[in-house]
Amino acid sequence: MAVIETNRDEPQGPKPLSVAFVRDAWYVASIGTELKSKILSTRLFGQPIVLFRGADNRPVALLDRCPHRNAPLSEGKLVEGQLQCGYHGWRFDSQGACVHVPGLCSEDYRRNQNATRFATYEQDGFIWIYGNPSVADPAPPESIACCDAKNYMTRRATYDVEATLHAVAENILDVPHTAYLHGGLFRKQGGETPIDVVVRRMADRVEAEFIGEKRPAGIVGRILAPGSGDVIHVDRFILPSWAQVEYQLGESYHMMGTNLLTPLDARTTRVFACFSLKSRIPAWLLWPFFRIVAKRIIKQDIRILKLQSETIELFGGEQFTSTEVDVLGLQIWQLLKQAQRGETQVSREPSERRFQMLV
Amino acid sequence: MAVIETNRDEPQGPKPLSVAFVRDAWYVASIGTELKSKILSTRLFGQPIVLFRGADNRPVALLDRCPHRNAPLSEGKLVEGQLQCGYHGWRFDSQGACVHVPGLCSEDYRRNQNATRFATYEQDGFIWIYGNPSVADPAPPESIACCDAKNYMTRRATYDVEATLHAVAENILDVPHTAYLHGGLFRKQGGETPIDVVVRRMADRVEAEFIGEKRPAGIVGRILAPGSGDVIHVDRFILPSWAQVEYQLGESYHMMGTNLLTPLDARTTRVFACFSLKSRIPAWLLWPFFRIVAKRIIKQDIRILKLQSETIELFGGEQFTSTEVDVLGLQIWQLLKQAQRGETQVSREPSERRFQMLV
Amino acid sequence: MAVIETNRDEPQGPKPLSVAFVRDAWYVASIGTELKSKILSTRLFGQPIVLFRGADNRPVALLDRCPHRNAPLSEGKLVEGQLQCGYHGWRFDSQGACVHVPGLCSEDYRRNQNATRFATYEQDGFIWIYGNPSVADPAPPESIACCDAKNYMTRRATYDVEATLHAVAENILDVPHTAYLHGGLFRKQGGETPIDVVVRRMADRVEAEFIGEKRPAGIVGRILAPGSGDVIHVDRFILPSWAQVEYQLGESYHMMGTNLLTPLDARTTRVFACFSLKSRIPAWLLWPFFRIVAKRIIKQDIRILKLQSETIELFGGEQFTSTEVDVLGLQIWQLLKQAQRGETQVSREPSERRFQMLV
Ligand code: FES
Ligand code: FES
Ligand code: FES
């Protein structure tokens, strides 16, 4: 029986956007190599953030607003590893402390003058920032599976989507749309082969395993897995914002695509993709093909997600309906809401659900 | 004595825009020949609408929002007369019913999954949609007088105006502005000839007859009526949104310009003009001249109406004053408000008012 | 001891923009020579205003909204010194009185039909308008010191800034930012010379005198004062919106830069700069250099003030902190708030405060 659920408790009328800001968590702010001697500006939860490397080369993230007259600090410049505001020259160290106010005789300028600082961490080739600035020194972020691991080639990329983090995660982990939106690229339309789907829910994640799937059809499948045979395919959402797609063919092929989503604001999501591949064919030889296909897929996803957002806004909110083959969307939303309420650590028996879908 | 009225009951302070959405009525959504094998998107009362022709070639209008994840249906494609959403491939028939959900094994997907459908009708060369989607099968729209009638040449055109339906209707049916905004085109400034105006109000319409008017001066008049002599000139508003201008010169010349207004949203009005002409000179010969003049007039009207809307918005609302020569504007507004409240059918004694104006 | 103040009474959370509209006061609407036979449109306190010269060549300012159907009057044309609306041809005299309604037989059209008029005055080469239209005939504006005075060369210029009047006034009268935002142009960074600052507050103004300042460094200083020696430098804010910078070097050099600020709306300020110079070197010879330097400074100020406004809006309001060297900003704000409440004339003992700053 197909379980039909709406994405909300109440059945009728538009609902606000599915936005749950999980603040006590790490988000990627930049690819590590893109933060060099220049100042970068980004956003998190709608707040402007300025990024730079301090005197010790470690990344620094401050709220991008000078406490003096609110000029954006990202318009300033670096002076000896400190950030000097471009308006009146106030200077801030890597803790956000104001260390110089030009013109002022007294040194008594340290009250209220500090810039808000976010904890940072550099790992797996990314700059991470912690979403809650009142936590000075949080435990480091989790490592990304297979990232820069032995026998794996890892590539990083980034792009922006005009949609909620939830809509982007659901899109990345959704199977049926690939046959329609990306028609022909790696699944064909009107599939009639039933396969088993097992959905496992844990405290910090939910994953769907697709059992008995054939090698993906189309060009992607042929490049990824030139032989035939069964496939291990798992789609996985990990709190606060990781959308992971894993494919395995026997011992020789293994692909781990981890998409680290950063909510720039309620309806803009920056995707940091970390793609790790082990294969018999040298990965550097496959990469150019992957790139071309990935670019096309991403372009189509960006377009439909933007159109989806615009339609939702025109109607004043979401009004979704779901079926059984919306495998992960609803549970991702539940995880996000619980995490936003701080209930991530609630011990929860892992649950498992099994059903069939056509591919 | 000149009766001076304001457009509202209360005399001071800006009022909101004169917007009255009459939902239980037919509106033109498209010229018939413009809806072929392609999907069109339009709007009504601010709601996006998707238009297409079903398997039987009859027009279909659905709310342009997929019930699944709210992608716009107009981004999909037609498959055997059904509309297939471009995101996950859900398919809808000409009643808006969801008839296929890719991937789903069960057929039990028919609850909540339907797209909202608006009744449609094709008549007089236009595609009409009924503004209230909960009325499944309303009585057909009225026919347009003289449209495609014997001895008449009929032409259709469409353009958008950034103004309320009320402002557009008043503009089309207003006489004095023609001498100023369209100076020289068909009336001269500072006219000093008094003529009689008779205003007749009925249950669903109000019309003004101008008695003793000379043949319109200027280039339009000379083309329309090369001879001289008195003119029958009636300006007419018919609920919910028709602005009709009728000119007659003896037996041989008769022009019926019916402007069917569609409120795309509160401050955007699409005009579907249906222009029917009987004349001694072959109509196809006159048409090129009419076109050139009409284009110039419409361009001037579009411009001033947009500026009027912008000024009203800057001031936070309308603040109008009126005189006797604002012949129809106030009564059009009363008709619209009554119709919005569902009081169209209230039997009402036709009333008549007579006064003089200078042309 | 450095006095650290916030720009508001309450210490935490963003505050609304520092906007205080002082309506009972004169503002410059145009440079006199720019209002000739053409109609100009401008704004004051967010309200559109139309400017023209009446039959007697005196400036007229009306609310830029036709009382008939709210078309902007600035789209009309001048007919015998009267303003004729471009839509239906209503005509208004220099008092805003409606003197003609085309088509109307009766002359009884003078009720409610007048356009709102603002008092105007032409003086010191500027067109002034009085912010409160219900005051028909206010006392003339103050004269601008040194403007077109004997031995002085006076130049006028105008530019727009996307920031509050308060932020623009504070920017113009601020000393420390010149070494940073305009680095090298007329002050060098990291100055270590302590000078005395005397701040004098009067009923309608506040001024800061900088005592013991050296000739300004950099290119501006060298042009302004080729010799050396001490400088008299006063920065002055005069209600409702004058930001005045005065420099004197002995008898021979005197510069009075009066910036007359007009609040087009809450976050857009038009600056009318009136620059008067007395010098040994002929002023016409200095002017080209001044122009080049002023253009660059103004461009930098426009840019940072716009970025400041955008950041404040992103955060939902201002959150400023101040130190002693924010010499005038807080007192300008107090003057504006008092004037807005109508307390300008409150007799107040002039106060004086003295402290040191580094330049
Ligand atoms: S705004 Fe940053 S130093 Fe003044
Ligand atoms: S949004 Fe239309 S099928 Fe999913
Ligand atoms: S709007 Fe100005 S005359 Fe009608």
**C82 has a pLDDT exceeding 50:** yes
**Domain membership flag for residue A350:** yes
Q: Whole-angstrom Cα distance, residue A277 to residue A223?
A: 12
**Among the bound ligands, the one closest to the CA of A71:** 1
What are A40-90's pLDDT values in tens digits? 999 999 999 999 999 999 999 999 999 999 999 999 999 999 999 999 999
Range C36-39 contact pairs with CB under 8 angstroms and sequence separation of 24 or more: C37/C78, C39/C74, C39/C76, C39/C77, C39/C78, C39/C83
pLDDT at B69 > cutoff 70: yes
pLDDT, position C228: 60
Question: What pLDDT score does A289 carry?
Answer: 85
Alpha-carbon span A82 to A56, nearest angstrom:
11
Q: Is B87 in the pocket of ligand 2 (CB under 6 A)?
A: yes
Provide the mean pLDDT of chain C. Answer: 89
Give the Å distance between the CA of B6 and the centre of ligand 2.
49
Structure tokens at B58: 């009859």
Q: Which ligand is nearest to the CA of B98?
A: 2
Ligand 1 mean position, distance from CA A88 (Å): 5
In a 10 Å sphere around its CB, with 0-12 CB exposed, 13-18 middle and 19+ buried, how is residue B132 labelled? middle
pLDDT value of position C109 = 58
Q: Tell me: pLDDT of C5 over 60.
A: no
Minimal CA separation from C247 to chain A, in Å? 20
Question: Testing the interface with B: which of A166, A174, A177 to mutate, by most B Cβ within 10 A?
Answer: A177
Residues C166, C248 within the same domain: yes
Nearest-10 crossing angle of helices A165-172, A283-314: 130
Give pLDDT, residue A222: 65
- Put simply, the answer to whether B71 touches A304 (Cβ < 8 Å) is yes
Inside any domain, residue C158: yes
Q: Which two tokens stand for residue C232?
A: 């008299």
CA distance B194 to chain C (A): 8
In a domain, B143, yes or no: no
The domain boundary residue, chosen from B97, B130, B163: B130
Question: Residue A58 falls within a domain, yes or no?
Answer: yes
What's the whole-number mean pLDDT along residues B338-352?
Answer: 78
Q: Are residues C122 and C241 in the same domain?
A: no
Burial code (b: 16+ CB inside 10 Å, e: under 16) for C36-60 equals eeebbebbbbebbbbbbbbeeeebb
The pLDDT assigned to A212 comes to: 84
Distances (CA, A) of C114 to A143, A299, C222: 73, 57, 56
Predicted local confidence at residue A343, as pLDDT = 78
**C106, two tokens:** 């009766």
**Total structural domains within chain C:** 2
What pLDDT, on a 0 to 100 scale, did the predictor assign at position C162? Answer: 98
User: Considering B99, B130, B161, which residue would you say is the last residue of a domain?
Assistant: B130
B 48-77 residues inside an 8 A Cβ radius of A: 48, 64-65, 67-72, 75
Quick one: B223 and B299 in the same domain? yes
| B16 domain-assigned | no
What does A270-297 look like in DSSP terms, one character per residue? EEEEEEEEE-SS-HHHHHHHHHHHHHHH
**Cα angle: C287, vertex C291, C292; to 5 degrees:** 125
A11 vs A148, residue with greater confidence: A148
- Cα angle for residues C159, C164, C170 (degrees, 5° grid): 85
Q: How far apart are CA C336 and CA C18, in angstroms?
A: 9
What does the pLDDT look like over C23-57, one tens digit per residue? Answer: 999 999 999 999 998 999 999 999 999 999 999 99
Residue C291 CA, ligand 3 centroid: distance in Å = 44
- Residue C146's region, left for phi above 0, alpha for psi from -120 to 50, else beta, is left
Q: Which of A283-297, A301-315, B47-61, B131-145 has the lowest mean pLDDT?
A: A283-297
Q: What is the ipTM of this complex?
A: 0.89
More confident residue, C258 or B194: C258
- A113 and A221 in a common domain: no
C266-323 residue pLDDT tens: 999 999 999 999 988 887 788 888 889 899 999 999 999 999 999 999 999 999 999 9
Say if ligand 1 is within 6 A of residue A348 CB: no
Q: Are residues C257 and C337 in the same domain?
A: yes
Residue B16 has pLDDT above 60, yes or no: yes
Expressed as residue numbers, the domain containing C111 is: 26-130
The confidence band for A154, taking pLDDT boundaries of 50, 70 and 90, is very high
- Cβ within 8 Å of residue C230, ≥6 positions away: C212, C213, C214
A46 Cα distance to chain centroid = 15
Q: Report pLDDT for A12.
A: 53
- pLDDT computed for residue B167 by the predictor: 98
Q: What atom in ligand 1 is closest to the CA of residue A69?
A: 1
Residue C92: band (very low, low, confident or very high) from pLDDT cuts 50, 70, 90: very high
Note the pLDDT tens digit of each residue in C101-127: 999 987 765 566 899 999 999 999 999
Say yes or no to pLDDT of C1 above 50: no
**pLDDT band per the 50, 70, 90 thresholds, residue B213:** confident
A47 to chain C: which residues are within 8 Å by CB?
314-315
Residue B7 belongs to some domain of the structure = no
Confidence of residue B12 (pLDDT cuts 50, 70, 90): low
Q: Residues C179-233: pLDDT tens digits?
A: 899 986 667 777 788 999 999 999 999 999 999 887 766 666 666 666 666 789 9
Residue of C39, C84, C88, C116 best suited for mutating to test ligand 3, as the one with most atoms within 8 Å of CB: C88
Q: What is the CATH number of the domain that holds B92?
A: 2.102.10.10
Mean pLDDT of B63-72: 97
Give the DSSP letter of residue A28. Answer: E
Question: Looking at A285-299, B115-129, B151-165, C209-223, which range is the least confident one?
Answer: C209-223
Verify that C233 and C278 share a domain, yes or no: yes
Residue A61: predicted pLDDT: 98
Q: Quick one: average pLDDT of A118-130?
A: 98
Structure tokens at B147: 């449209």
- What pLDDT score does B346 carry? 56
Closest CA to C113 of C134, C99, C94: C99
C264 domain residue, yes or no: yes
| Helix pair C165-173, C283-314: axis angle to 10 deg | 130
Question: What's the pLDDT score for residue A198?
Answer: 97
Q: Which one of C180, C235, C319 would you mutate to disrupt binding with A, by most A Cβ within 10 Å of its Cβ?
A: C180
Examine the domain organization and report whether C64 and C210 are in the same domain: no
Q: What is the mean pLDDT of residues B144-149?
A: 97
pLDDT on residue A140? 98
Average pLDDT of chain A, as a whole number: 89
Q: For residue A347, is pLDDT > 80?
A: no
User: DSSP string of C296-321?
Assistant: HHHHHHHHHHHHHHHHHHHTTSB---
Tens digit of each residue's pLDDT (9 = 90 or more) over A167-219: 999 999 999 999 899 986 667 777 788 999 999 999 999 999 999 887 766 66
Q: For residues A125 and A163, state if they share a domain.
A: no
C112 touches chain B (CB under 8 A): yes
**C114 and C262 share a domain?**
no
- DSSP, res A34: G
Say which of C2, C311, C324 has its CB closest to residue A48.
C311
Strand partners, A129: A27, A120
Cβ separation B177–C108 shorter than 8 A: no
Q: For the beta carbon of residue A35, count every other beta carbon within 10 angstroms.
A: 21
pLDDT tens digits, residue range C123-163?
999 999 999 999 999 999 999 999 999 999 999 999 999 99
- Domain finish residue from A130, A161, A195: A130
Residues in CB range of B58: below 8 A, 6 or more apart: B94, B120, B122
Measured between beta carbons, which residues in chain C are less than 8 angstroms from residue B300? none
Q: Does residue C36 sit in the same domain as residue C96?
A: yes
What is the pLDDT at residue A1?
29
Question: Could you tell me the sign of the dihedral formed by the alpha carbons of C94, C96, C99, C100, in that order?
Answer: positive
> pLDDT category, C253, cuts 50, 70, 90?
confident
How high is the pLDDT of residue A342? 87
Greater confidence (B2 vs B275) lies with B275
Structure tokens at B299: 């361009």
* Residue among B62, B66, B113 whose CB has most ligand 2 atoms within 8 A, to mutate: B66
Q: How far is the CA of B268 from the centre of ligand 1 (A)?
A: 44
Which CATH number fits the domain that encloses residue B189?
Answer: 3.90.380.10
Pick the atom of ligand 2 nearest to A308's CA: 1
- My answer on whether B176 and B274 are in the same domain is yes
pLDDT(B179) > 80 = yes
Nearest residue on chain B to C74, alpha-carbon basis: B307
* Domain co-membership, C158 together with C279: yes
Contact between chains at A102 and C321 (C-beta distance less than 8 A): no
Place of tokens 């209008």: B61
Answer yes or no: is pLDDT of B285 > 80: yes
Classify residue B15: in a domain, yes or no: no
Question: Looking at residue B287, what is its pLDDT?
Answer: 84
Which pLDDT score is estimated for B119?
98
C311 with A71: Cβ contact below 8 A = yes
